[in-house]
Amino acid sequence: MRATPGVPRRGVLLGSAVAVLAACSGRSAPVAAPPPAAPSAGPAPLTAPVTVLRKPSKARGKDVDLVLATPDGTPARNLPVCLALHGRGSNARTFLDLGLPAALTAAARSGVQPFAVAAVDGSHYWVPDGDDDPYRMLTDELPGWLTAAGLRPATAALGISMGGFGALNLARHQRSVTTVATCSAALFRSWPEARARGIFASSAAWSAVEPLQHMNELPSAGLGVWCGSGDPFLAANRSLIGGARPAVSQIGPGGHTAGYWRGVLPEVLRFVGGRVK
């Protein structure tokens, strides 16, 4: 216990004892004015190109990893942010395995506007599933985590596989997300295709969130689509390209694999860097 200026420590201890005795006896005792609150320290800026934080998510009912990556050698404070949404059965650290930090640094050094990437653990195609709501985590919790790291609100989203579904669906509802890049987006052209995934409760629940059912709501001018020619979701991605008319689209050699995503990631990051605000 710290003594109040001008009051001996013995007096502070005696005053505390009197207050406790008074509370036990039911009688009131004089209450000293509380000390002034310490001023807020404000956001703590990132100090390393890669930072992994463990965050409690009420929306998901569990702790999640938040992976923040910034170009090496670039001050992190107030950088624009691109969300990175991983695929099914994966997690936020996947983007480290794909070499995102090095690719992000290379993009900045090539003259692309520096920006930060924020990846977080998700599930369920980034839509609510009972008490686990990764979508609400993105909209209600993640903005505060970014502010605490000294970063701007996210205005771009990058999604791989299931994350592509999530990034497109997020952009439909969050108009502040004006740039979206998808790699091998896991999209479904029909309810039977979606039902096989065992995620969506009904045809109506799937239709409400399926990006291919709402292509007129996507930010076409800020949309980039990448997919391998051997990907099982190729037909669905061709439907996305034909209906949403993205600013950039590329169908190239590759499948639904980490090798393909690692190969196109530098181009995807250059696309995002040219548009993120």
Residue 13 is predicted with a pLDDT of 33
- The fraction of the chain above a pLDDT of 90, given in percent, is 80
Residue 7 is predicted with a pLDDT of 38
Domains of the chain by range and CATH? Answer: 1-39 (no CATH), 50-273 (3.40.50.1820)
Q: What is the pLDDT along the chain (277 residues), one digit of tens a residue?
A: 444 444 333 333 333 333 333 333 333 333 343 333 333 344 556 767 999 999 999 999 999 999 999 999 999 888 999 999 999 999 999 999 999 999 999 999 999 999 999 999 999 999 999 999 999 999 999 999 999 999 999 999 999 999 999 999 999 999 999 999 999 999 999 999 999 989 999 999 999 999 999 999 999 999 999 999 999 999 999 999 999 999 999 999 999 999 999 999 999 999 999 999 8
Residue 45 is predicted with a pLDDT of 60
Let me know: does 80 contact 113? Beta carbons within 8 Å.
Answer: yes
Residue 42 is predicted with a pLDDT of 46
Model pTM score: 0.83
207 DSSP 8-state letter: H
Which DSSP string corresponds to 49-80?
A: SEEEEEEEETTTTEEEEEEEE--TTS--TT--
Task: Strand 50-57: give its sheet, edge to edge.
Answer: 50-57, 62-69, 116-120, 81-85, 154-160, 179-183, 223-228, 248-252
**Alpha helix locations (H) across 210-255?**
234-244
Q: How far is CA 140 from the centre of its chain?
A: 11
Whole-angstrom distance, CA of residue 259 vs CA of residue 257: 5
